[in-house]
Amino acid sequence: MEKKNIDWSNIGFGYVKTDKRFVSNFKNGAWDGGVLTEDDTITISECAGVLQYAQTVFEGLKAYTTEDGRIVTFRPDLNASRFADSARRLEMPVYPEDKFVEAVLNTVKANEAYVPPYGTGATLYVRPYMFGSSPVIGVKPAEEYQFRVFTTPVGPYFKGGAKPITIRVSDFDRAAPHGTGHIKAGLNYAMSLHAIVTAHAEGFDENMYLDPQTRTKVEETGGANFLFVTKDGKVVTPKSNSILPSITRRSLMTVAKDYLGLEVEEREVLFDEVKDFAECGLCGTAAVISPVGKIVNKDQEIVFPSGMEEMGPITKKLYETLTGIQMGRIEAPEGWIVEV
């Protein structure tokens, strides 16, 4: 398979149109079989549910070229089941989980020429999504839906790759208690746009959101969960019903325990504790593990002992083990790696 002529090592996190995408429609209460198509455009009613009331959910995962040249995906079954949870919460039909995985694998295969070669630091990002396509004007779910999967080659989510970033505590909330913070719905990201634009304008890379009810507990960022490391080497990650259950975080907890022999705590994390942690990182499909060097909250500045130049030592071990598993250098737990 001849690869496309792309400067793989220098791409950022952006959209590049690839050759094929998967499309399936839900009509009269059933999904059709779906097709791979070259058409990257969509024509829908001006009154489609997605356009009026934001009825849309999505997923994000990656395809990797392993050291021995295979193309693999990482735990796509977990994306399938989270996608089903997201759909149910927005009163959308569930796309069958086995068909979801099949659609992901087939779309990656059809765009093999865009899967970045091993060792370039780039990967193929896969974006499955679904939206209400039929007209609704009273507030209610659409009757027809479209499920699609496209791919785009990507580099690091944060400019500078593995360099620690600076974040701030946001004045805005991301998710209400008992709201939609735990699902991957477009509306959660629309909510975060003003906060991220103002954060960037003020020189910060991301926002830390606190729990909206008490504003004392750490939730997550706009696109990743938090991992902290205590001074005595324990891995701590916030537990909350209003954050997205990150597949990267769940995997890192296993890596920390079973591969690195570290103690792991998933629990409520008070913002007041953060100043006492030794390391901080953001974890997610796009972020992988991005080290945080500094957190600003109004007049308070927390600088982690790991500093602004290097990843902390435990963050680095977690990063190397996880990416080692994803790229086939380290043996994966049963079922984590699914070959295309």
| Residue 60 engages ligand PLP in binding (rule: CB under 6 A) | yes
CB of 311 to ligand PLP, least distance (A): 18
Report the residue number, 48 or 175, with the smaller CB distance to ligand PLP.
175
Supply φ then ψ for residue 326, to 5 degrees. Answer: -65, -35
| Residue 244 engages ligand PLP in binding (rule: CB under 6 A) | yes
The Cα–Cα gap between 139 and 162 comes to 44
107 binds, among ligand PLP, ligand COI, none (CB under 5 to 8 A by kind): none
In 59-119, the DSSP E strands lie at: 61-65, 71-74
What does the block give as tokens for 31? 């999904």
> Which residue in the shown chain puts its C-beta closest to ligand COI?
60
Considering only residues 218 to 277 of the shown chain, the ones binding ligand COI according to CB under 6 A are 223
| Residue 55 engages ligand COI in binding (rule: CB under 6 A) | no
Exposure string of 135-149, with b = 16+ CB inside 10 Å and e = fewer, is bbeeeeebbbbbbbb
Return the active site residues.
184
The Cα–Cα gap between 22 and 17 comes to 13
CB of 140 to ligand PLP, least distance (A): 27
Choices 28-36, 85-93, 168-176, 282-290 (CB under 6 A): range interacting with ligand COI: 282-290
244 binds, among ligand COI, ligand PLP, none (CB under 5 to 8 A by kind): ligand PLP
What does the block give as tokens for 131? 């939206």
- State how beta strands 279-284 and 288-297 pair: antiparallel
Choices 88-96, 141-149, 239-247, 271-279 (CB under 6 A): range interacting with ligand PLP: 239-247
Phi-psi label, residue 315: left if phi above 0, alpha if psi -120 to 50, beta otherwise: alpha
Choices 20-28, 108-116, 220-228, 254-262 (CB under 6 A): range interacting with ligand PLP: 220-228
- Answer whether 318's CB lies under 8 Å from 280's CB: no
User: Quick one: DSSP state of residue 52?
Assistant: H
Among 93, 223, 281, 328, binds ligand PLP (CB under 6 A): 223
Among 225, 242, 306, 315, binds ligand PLP (CB under 6 A): 225
CB of 155 to ligand PLP, least distance (A): 16
User: Which residues are within 8 A (CB) of 307 and not within 5 positions of it... i.e. 6 or more apart?
Assistant: 164, 293
User: Which residues are within 8 A (CB) of 186 and not within 5 positions of it... i.e. 6 or more apart?
Assistant: 50, 54, 56, 57, 58
**x/- site string to ligand PLP, residues 277 to 306, per CB under 6 A?**
-------xx---------------------
